[in-house]
Amino acid sequence: MSLLVVGSVAFDAIETPFGKTDKIVGGAASYISLCASYFTKNVNLVGVVGDDFPHEFISHLNNHGVDTEGLQIKKGEKSFFWSGKYHTDMNSRDTLITELNVLGDFDPIIPDSYQNCQYLMLGNLTPKVQQTVIERLTTRPKLIVMDTMNFWMEIAMDDLKKTLSMVDVLTINDEEARQLSGEYSLVKAAVKIQEMGPKYLIIKKGENGALLFHGKEVFFAPALPLEEVFDPTGAGDTFAGGFIGYLAKTDDISFENMKNAVIYGSAMASFCVEKFGTERLVDLNENVLSQRIEVFKKLVHFNLTETNS
Q: Is 216 in the site for a second copy (CB under 8 A)?
A: no
35 φ/ψ sector (left φ>0, alpha ψ -120 to 50, else beta): alpha
Count of residues engaged in binding a second copy, rule: CB under 8 A: 45
CA separation, residue 236 to residues 101, 187, 205 (Å) = 23, 20, 10
Q: Is 300 in the site for a second copy (CB under 8 A)?
A: yes
Rounded to 5 degrees, what angle do the CA atoms 188, 214, 151 make? 60
Q: Is 230 in the site for a second copy (CB under 8 A)?
A: no
Pairing of strands 81-86, 93-99: antiparallel
CB of 75 to a second copy, least distance (A): 39
Q: Is 22 in the site for a second copy (CB under 8 A)?
A: no
The number of residues making up the chain comes to 309
Q: Is 137 in the site for a second copy (CB under 8 A)?
A: no
Q: Is 229 in the site for a second copy (CB under 8 A)?
A: yes
Nearest to a second copy of 165, 290 (CB atom): 290
Nearest to a second copy of 3, 229 (CB atom): 229
Q: Which residues does 173 contact at the CB level (< 8 Å), separation at least 6?
A: 203, 204, 205, 206, 236
One symbol per residue from 165 to 194: x for binding a second copy (CB under 8 A), - otherwise; what is it? -------------------xxxxx------
- Helix axis angle, 28-36 to 235-250, nearest 10°: 40
β partners of residue 218: 213
Q: Is 264 in the site for a second copy (CB under 8 A)?
A: yes
Q: Is 259 in the site for a second copy (CB under 8 A)?
A: yes
Interface residue list for a second copy (CB under 8 A): 38-39, 88-89, 184-188, 205, 208-209, 211, 218-222, 225-229, 246, 256, 259-260, 262-264, 286, 289-290, 293-294, 297, 299-304, 307-309
